[in-house]
């Protein structure tokens, strides 16, 4: 048993971690809710979540590592987090997956989404100026479509590293044929991809790229402090914004009250990477974003959905009993 747990806890790069029965799982989630409502959905999900959490030692380990480091850095919980907080953490991820589907189908109640800072994007869109949106794997970013009334011309292209991108795009088309979100599968930004993204930004569209996932080529990272511990963050968003000579924004959409709060923030009108100080500048941009993430998670601590060894890739995590 111990050998099995050690095997399950062996750290892998996040991109190597497959997603099980991906498209089938999406449709099951969506139709359970459509046919029977959220209360029945929660009832069905509870035993599945408990079993999933109990049988996956690494899931428990990475959840507890995050919660404990957040607590040590911010003191956000009334007492040290334990198994219940970890289970709640995983449970919120399942709820959020449902909300993502409802958002993409245009069926999430718009009145439950507050928006802050979108005026800057509206002004940029009015000028035909696109930009880079740096995001993280937390909350429900798909609720950007709730801004359709305020930003009717808002077009979002999401860069993802997953073989499921084409499958997910088909799901998007079936849920909402007129949707404003397009997924683009990419392992690295080569010359052809850079030209494609440049065309989109020049046309007033926005490109979202994760600022919290180490790329496949780990050399493209910088090490900065995150929740009191050194962590590797990608430099891709800042290099891309510099190449395209466009504004860099942050985008988050976290649980708040009975719904979500969608926040846009201008980080830089133009990302400048000076010769001779390029690495230093990249580290400063990444540190700025890491601090922003920490503040966001202090507001909504269960919204962090990086269920892999974020700080410890290449090392074993202790198994939580």
309 assigned to some structural domain: no
313 assigned to some structural domain: no
| pLDDT, mean of residues 233-260 | 93
What's the pLDDT band for 221 if we cut at 50, 70, 90? confident
The predicted structure's pLDDT at residue 287: 97
317 assigned to some structural domain: no
321 assigned to some structural domain: no
314 assigned to some structural domain: no
Q: Residue 25 pLDDT more than 70?
A: no
Residue 17: exposed, middle, or buried by beta-carbon count in 10 A (0-12, 13-18, 19+)? exposed
Check residues 235 and 43 and name the one with the higher pLDDT: 235
Say yes or no: 57 and 148 in one domain: no
130 assigned to some structural domain: yes
Last residue within a domain, chosen from 100, 128, 152: 100
| pLDDT, mean of residues 302-317 | 76
Say yes or no: 90 and 232 in one domain: no
The answer to whether 121 and 250 have CB atoms below 8 angstroms apart is no
161 assigned to some structural domain: yes
| pLDDT, mean of residues 266-273 | 94
The least confident of 6-10, 97-101, 197-201, 205-209 is 6-10
Phi-psi region of 309 (alpha: psi -120 to 50; beta: other; left: phi over 0): beta
User: Looking up tokens 């080529």, which residue turns up?
Assistant: 217
The pTM score is 0.83
User: Looking up tokens 């269960």, which residue turns up?
Assistant: 302
Q: How many structural domains compose the chain?
A: 2
User: In whole angstroms, what is the distance from residue 313 CA to residue 305 CA?
Assistant: 16
The predicted structure's pLDDT at residue 218: 52
Token pair, residue 79, equals 């007492």
Q: Which residue range is the domain that position 42 belongs to?
A: 2-100
What's the pLDDT band for 6 if we cut at 50, 70, 90? very low
Residue 98: exposed, middle, or buried by beta-carbon count in 10 A (0-12, 13-18, 19+)? buried
């Amino acid at each position: 048993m111990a050998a099995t747990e050690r095997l399950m806890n062996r750290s892998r790069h996040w991109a190597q971690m497959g997603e099980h029965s991906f498209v089938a799982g999406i449709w099951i989630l969506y139709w359970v809710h459509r046919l029977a409502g959220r209360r029945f959905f929660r009832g069905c999900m509870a035993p599945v979540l408990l079993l999933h959490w109990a049988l996956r030692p690494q899931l428990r380990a990475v959840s507890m590592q995050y919660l404990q480091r957040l607590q040590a850095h911010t003191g956000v919980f009334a007492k040290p987090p334990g198994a219940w907080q970890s289970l709640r953490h995983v449970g919120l991820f399942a709820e959020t997956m449902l909300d993502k589907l409802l958002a993409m189908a245009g069926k999430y109640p718009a009145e439950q989404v507050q928006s802050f800072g979108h005026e800057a994007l509206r002004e940029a869109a009015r000028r035909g100026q696109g930009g880079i949106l740096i995001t993280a794997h937390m909350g429900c970013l798909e609720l950007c479509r709730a801004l359709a009334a305020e930003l009717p011309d808002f077009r979002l292209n999401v860069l993802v590293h997953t073989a499921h991108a084409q499958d997910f795009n088909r799901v998007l088309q079936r849920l909402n044929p007129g949707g404003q979100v397009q997924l683009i599968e990419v392992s690295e930004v080569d010359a052809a991809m850079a030209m494609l993204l440049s065309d989109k930004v020049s046309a007033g569209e926005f490109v979202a790229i994760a600022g919290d996932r180490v790329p496949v080529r780990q050399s493209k990272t910088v090490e900065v402090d995150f929740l009191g511990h050194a962590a590797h963050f990608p430099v891709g968003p800042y290099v891309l914004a510099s190449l395209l000579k466009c504004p860099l924004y942050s985008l988050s959409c976290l649980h708040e009250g009975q719904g979500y709060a969608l926040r846009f923030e201008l980080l830089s009108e133009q990302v400048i990477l000076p010769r001779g100080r390029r690495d230093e500048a990249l580290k400063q941009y990444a540190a700025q974003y890491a601090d922003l993430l920490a503040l966001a998670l202090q507001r909504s601590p269960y919204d962090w959905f990086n269920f892999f060894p974020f700080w410890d890739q290449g090392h074993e995590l202790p198994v939580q009993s």
